[in-house]
Amino acid sequence: MATTGPRLASDTSDGNNARDQLIEAASQIMREGDTIDLSLSELSLRAGLNSALVKYYFGNKNGLMLALLDRDMGNIVQSLGALVAKDMQPADKLRIHIGAVIDTYHAFPYLNRLLMRMVRDSAPAEAARIAELYLKPISNVYEVLIAQGIKAGKFRKTDPQFFYFTVTGAADRFYSSRLVLRHCYNQDDFDENMRDAYREHTIDLIMRGLLV
């Protein structure tokens, strides 16, 4: 007899799928609701899975949030590492990176808010792990690339720390302002045309301030 309602994963293959489904369902809820809060019942309905699986795979909802953060931020750090290894000028690397940051926040507008909450609310050891994996690598890359550009006479003297906050803030503030977009500009969401235009605007604005 067929059963209805959220299901439990039964074998290893289904289990891997179920874990990924829960992470993706959480991501969808956050994107669509412009929030980093979600209920287990809403997650269960979206994923089509029993909410008990959250405890099984992640320990609790906070563990699920950490798994989502690991998925999204892990891709960013890995891509940045690959970019740094390329034989390109520092300015070209930063242009590509800034564009990728805008695209990433378009896909995951909750990302910086989730990152800050996880650092704030996690145990000290876990907060240190998050910073070591996802905050320091980006900051370190900025230090290296900006130093290279200054040494080559291409960049103005620029504080890498301020540069980090400028790039992150430009992306996060834009994509966390859906209500401003709706009430001030009579537009419900950020479409791909707006993403592309904002990407070019942000790259141009930041790089003009950096280049000699």
Please report, for the chain, the start and end positions of each structural domain, with discontinuous segments joined by +: 7-59, 68-210
Q: Which phi and psi (to 5°) does residue 7 adopt?
A: -110, 160
* Sequence-distant (≥ 6) Cβ neighbours of residue 9 within 8 angstroms: 15, 17, 18, 49, 53
Instruction: For residue range 73-127, list pLDDT tens digits in order.
Output: 988 888 888 999 999 999 999 999 999 999 999 999 999 999 999 999 889 999 9
CATH 3.90.79.10 fits 68-210, yes or no: no
d(CA 203, CA 18): 38
The residue that leads in pLDDT, 18 or 176, is 18
**Stated pTM of the model:** 0.85
Distances in Å between the Cα of 172 and the Cα atoms of 34, 106, 146 are 12, 9, 22
- Mean pLDDT confidence for 145-173: 96
CATH architecture designation of domain 7-59:
Orthogonal Bundle (1.10)
